[in-house]
Amino acid sequence: MRKIFFFLIMILLVSCSPEPEVLETPVPPTATATRIPNTPTSTPTPTATPLPSTSISATVWENDPFAVVLAYHQFAENHSPASSSVKMRFEDFGNQLQALFDSGYSLVSLEDWMKGNIVIPEGRRPLIFSMDDLFFRNQILLDDNGDIDPNTGIGMHWEFYQEHPDFGFSWALFTNLGDKFYPVGDDPNWREVLAEAIVWCLEHGAMVYNHTYQHPDFRISTPKYIQYQLEENDIFLRELLGIAGREDLIHDLKNIIGLPFGERPDEYAGLQTLLDYTTPEGVPVQGIMEIDYIFRVKYLPPMYHEEYDAMAMPRVSTNLAAVDWLVENTAEFEQAQVCDLGEVPDIYLDDVEYLAEHISFTYTQNDCPTGVYVVRNYLFSVSENLVELITSWQE
């Protein structure tokens, strides 16, 4: 009976097209949680002409999504005897892409995951791709037209993505720019060639991060050397973007560090240097990536979870066993759901209070579960009595 009464109230409220009170000035969403009760606060008043509106939907995580961050390294020709965690035969990599796709995985970029923007197609399970020790020509190479060579690791994935767009294309690339030439040492224009490859990556969602200039072991590095290794890699990256005439891309560079060998400095002073490191633009460390093997698999929690630590994000070194494990253990990973939230007047599309109230009205009507909702640039927690903003982000 109570349920029916509630349902009638809901119908009444919705059929009257409640017009929320217009705020004097738009309130920007805050990163801190705002508690919004499910009780409607505005008085329903019929509107004469409907406002221009947009149909919106949410990506819903009924349970907290966790993901594995795979870490690839180099790629090897098919005549190589066997794949390892540092060299994946191209044929094996192709099979891995197919197996991961067929098992229902889709990629989320590391940056989106860190923001809370966990969006993949309905029914699919999240996975994050990363790669270390770049740039080698087996990882990426461009042809004379600036197109990516499909006989490289990133190129193979790019080609696969064209035929399987639901799989997604994103990479977190951890680069050592100071320990090798690219693509070959005797090419006097190697810096220009490398710069073009980096620009291709940044323009296609393969984001470039710091794995130090020459891959030292931080356990035995002095604070001064740690600082040099991080700084020099960043400086050279910016120099290369300058060579390509693409200084405009510097603005979007993040400060995410992949620990060489997955090792932290042994001494406190070295660790402090690592944590205090800022990019040439003054961006503080936003993330630190570890690495381990699949037999000690660790998951990356969502950014709002109490176990999430941006300064210790786990990754899995990718060998054949790692992907076999993912294929066999799909049930470990949450599937994305989609909730149709209907029409929202355009003037309220970025009004976080309106959106929260709108979700609380519509999610049960549309048979959507409680959980975590990604709606536009907002992440909400939706429970039976409360719709709560967890975080928001810029495009």
The packing angle between helices 223-243 and 190-203, to 10°, is 90
Contacts with Zn ion in 241-270 (CB under 5 A)? Answer: none
In angstroms, give the least distance from the CB of 107 to Zn ion.
Answer: 21
Binding mask 179-218 for Zn ion (x = CB under 5 A): ----------------------------------------
In angstroms, give the least distance from the CB of 232 to Zn ion.
Answer: 16
Check if the beta carbon of residue 352 is closer than 8 Å to that of residue 378. Answer: yes
Check if the beta carbon of residue 34 is closer than 8 Å to that of residue 352. Answer: yes
Retrieve residue 270's tokens.
Answer: 């070295």
Contacts with Zn ion in 41-80 (CB under 5 A)? Answer: none
In angstroms, give the least distance from the CB of 230 to Zn ion.
Answer: 14
Check if the beta carbon of residue 216 is closer than 8 Å to that of residue 225. Answer: yes
Rounded-to-integer distance, Cα 282 and Cα 284, Å: 6
307 strand-pairing partners:
none
Q: Which C-beta is closer to Zn ion: that of 179 or that of 346?
A: 179
Is 290 near Zn ion (CB under 5 A)? no
In angstroms, give the least distance from the CB of 194 to Zn ion.
Answer: 18
Contacts with Zn ion in 312-341 (CB under 5 A)? Answer: none
The residue behind tokens 């119908």 is: 11
Residue showing the smallest CB distance to Zn ion in the complex: 132
In angstroms, give the least distance from the CB of 54 to Zn ion.
Answer: 45
- Distances from the Cα of 266 to the Cα of 88, 207, 263, 272, 276, angstroms: 31, 29, 9, 11, 16
Q: Which C-beta is closer to Zn ion: that of 133 or that of 234?
A: 133
Contacts with Zn ion in 348-367 (CB under 5 A)? Answer: none
Q: Which C-beta is closer to Zn ion: that of 217 or that of 247?
A: 217
Retrieve residue 368's tokens.
Answer: 């959507």
In angstroms, give the least distance from the CB of 250 to Zn ion.
Answer: 24
In angstroms, give the least distance from the CB of 212 to Zn ion.
Answer: 9
Q: Which C-beta is closer to Zn ion: that of 70 or that of 374?
A: 70
Q: Which C-beta is closer to Zn ion: that of 132 or that of 290?
A: 132
In angstroms, give the least distance from the CB of 176 to Zn ion.
Answer: 7
The packing angle between helices 320-328 and 90-102, to 10°, is 10
Contacts with Zn ion in 124-163 (CB under 5 A)? Answer: 132-133
Q: Which C-beta is closer to Zn ion: that of 72 or that of 363?
A: 72
In angstroms, give the least distance from the CB of 269 to Zn ion.
Answer: 23
Q: Which C-beta is closer to Zn ion: that of 251 or that of 296?
A: 296
Q: Which C-beta is closer to Zn ion: that of 111 or that of 132?
A: 132
> What is the DSSP track for 51-115?
PPEEEEEEEEESS---B-EEEE-EEE-TTSS---SSEEEHHHHHHHHHHHHHTTEEE--HHHHHH
Check if the beta carbon of residue 374 is closer than 8 Å to that of residue 116. Answer: yes
Measuring CA to CA, which residue among 128, 215, 137 is closest to residue 174?
215
Q: Which one-letter amino acid corresponds to residue 270?
A: G
How many chain residues bind Zn ion (CB under 5 A)? 2
Q: Which C-beta is closer to Zn ion: that of 111 or that of 133?
A: 133
Q: Is 261 left (phi over 0), alpha (psi -120 to 50) or beta?
A: left
136 strand-pairing partners:
none
Rounded-to-integer distance, Cα 210 and Cα 208, Å: 7
Retrieve residue 359's tokens.
Answer: 């979700």
Q: Which C-beta is closer to Zn ion: that of 152 or that of 176?
A: 176
Element (H, E) at 345: strand 337-345
In angstroms, give the least distance from the CB of 151 to Zn ion.
Answer: 23
- Residue numbers at the binding site for Zn ion (CB under 5 A): 132-133
